[in-house]
Chains A and B, each alone.
Chain A
Amino acid sequence: MDAMNQPEHTPDTSRWVQDHGDALYRYALLRVNNPDLAGDLVQDTFLSALKGAEKFRGGSTVRTWLIGILKHKIIDHYRRNRIEVLASEMPASTEDDDLDHVDRASDSWAEAPSQLVENQEFWAVFTRCLAGLPEAHRRAFSMREFDGLSGEEICKILEVTPSNLWVMLHRARAKLRRCLEVNWFETG
Chain B
Amino acid sequence: MRCLESARLLSERRDHPLPLGKRIGLRVHLLICSLCRAYRTQIEAVCNISHHAGIAAPGHGAQLPPARKQSMQDAIDRSSG
Contacts and interface: CB of A to CB of B under 8 A. Distances in A.
Interface of A: 13-14, 16-18, 21-23, 25-27, 29-30, 39, 42-43, 46-47, 50-51, 94, 96, 99, 101-107, 109, 113-114, 116-118, 120, 123-124, 126, 141-142, 144-148, 151, 162, 165-166, 169-170, 173-174, 176-177, 180-181
Specify the main secondary structure of chain B where it touches its partner. Answer: helix
Contacts, number: 155
Given A22-B63, A26-B59, A102-B4, A126 B72 contact: no
A30 B57 CA distance: 7
A145 B51 contact: yes
A102 B36 contact: yes
Contacts of A141: 50
Given A99-B4, A102-B39, A117-B52, A39 B76 contact: no
A104 B75 CA distance: 52
Specify the main secondary structure of chain A where it touches its partner. Answer: helix
A27 B14 CA distance: 24
Interface residue tally of chain B, by bracket?
35 or more
Given A96-B4, A103-B35, A166-B16, A39 B68 contact: yes
Give 7 closest A-B pairs by Cβ, nearest first: A146-B54, A26-B59, A145-B50, A105-B38, A170-B11, A113-B49, A113-B48
Contacts of A17: 64, 69, 72-73, 76
A9 B80 CA distance: 16
Contacts of B80: 13, 50
Nearest to B34: A105
